[in-house]
Amino acid sequence: MEFVIWLAITAATVIPLMKLLPHFGYDAKWAFVAVIPLGAIVLLWVMATKLNEMEKR
């Protein structure tokens, strides 16, 4: 049962990241890094850094 819950949470994280990452200039396949628990946090940091760069332009 825990695996099903983990799978649902992972899918709920990976699918939106696959749609968001191309807007930040990264390949959508990088969203699969979010399968690793700390991977989602790293991707959020990368996106936030890129957003700051985009706002400065």
d(CA 11, CA 48): 21
pLDDT for residue 26: 94
- Per the structure, the count of domains in the chain is 1
> What's the token pair of residue 37?
């628990």
User: What is the chain's pLDDT, residue by residue, as a tens digit (57 residues)?
Assistant: 999 999 999 999 999 999 999 999 999 999 999 999 899 999 999 999 999 988 887
- The pTM is what? 0.83
Whether the CB-CB separation of 38 and 44 falls below 8 Å is answered with no
pLDDT for residue 57: 76
Give the range of the structural domain holding residue 46, as residue numbers without chain letter: 2-56
